[in-house]
Structure 1
């Protein structure tokens, strides 16, 4: 269920994302700081909203600049009649989901947790938001060996009773590890 008292509306540009290796084109929009400020957290946040009157549900990603960005897939681009580019402005209305939905656990992390009963117990004892952050920490690794190391580290920390990821800034503000995508024309 969405919180109706924290709905915010704003206009923001919608631009194509730079796709270095090809793939299905998608666009994104960076929320104005004022719109992001009403959200419950600077890290990943699930929202329900509208773009140009078209409903969507999505997970906002932190941009490392005290705001969030939204990935807009091809279907939503077409349905909302968007023409991504520097001159494309869209009207948004968003509100955070409350409670935050349970995150989808990546297959490799799921397998590691299943193979480590103490880590799995720790995982099950954490909150949904903590699980969102654990997954975000794993998924933010840029290399496979770093991701594998983080999965092992997560299992170790959870087995030791740690409920939150240590040394991970889910907003990217302090570590600068997270950012919005680069525009296609950049």
Structure 2
């Protein structure tokens, strides 16, 4: 899917997360002005370059009205950048959100609930991504299990969106960028 015509250019510092201590990935928080150029304060998939190296990724809300990007070791190494570097980013939101990856427990739960499974393909990719994000964002395993059961019940009842889900994290304090190790 090609990006939209909304190209964003900025620079941001690549950081190492404080937790987990053995993380192999890095992250950066977009400057507020760069994030303001995106169509939503919630999750948004973009295509662009990091230090001149191409990538496609989903930016996550930081709960402060901006977004953050998880940079895996392969992208960081291919771009020739290291934690602490200020890196150039050029990106644009994709014209259409791609289908999200389905976690195994979501696949199994839908298979066990035919009415919920029948509703799932009628959802847009962004709606499916929001459901998955809501289900998987619980910090405790029992929260995830409870949300999965609730999601199946809501989907079976014809609901298209996760109830009361703050996509930006601003109002619920449910989302944030990782804390930096430095």
Smaller-chain TM-score range?
Answer: over 0.9
* 1:164 alignment partner, one of 161, 164, 169: 161
Partner of 1:57: 56
Structure 1 residue 39, shift from structure 2 partner: 1.5
**In the aligned structure 1, how far is the partner of 2:57 from the partner of 2:3?**
15
Matched, 1:134 2:139: no
User: What count of residue pairs does the alignment treat as equivalent?
Assistant: 182
Q: How high is the TM-score relative to the length of structure 2?
A: 0.96
**In the aligned structure 2, how far is the partner of 1:72 from the partner of 1:41?**
21
* 2:109 alignment partner, one of 92, 102, 112: 112
Partner of 2:43: 44
Partner of 1:72: 71
Any gaps of 5 or more consecutive residues in structure 2?
none
1:17–1:25 Cα contact (<8 Å) kept: no
Partner of 1:94: 91
Any gaps of 5 or more consecutive residues in structure 1?
none
- Secondary structure at the counterpart of residue 16 of structure 1: coil
**In the aligned structure 2, how far is the partner of 1:4 from the partner of 1:124?**
25
Q: How high is the TM-score relative to the length of structure 1?
A: 0.94
**Structure 1 runs (4+) greater than 4 angstroms displaced:** none
- Secondary structure at the counterpart of residue 113 of structure 1: helix
1:19–1:25 Cα contact (<8 Å) kept: no
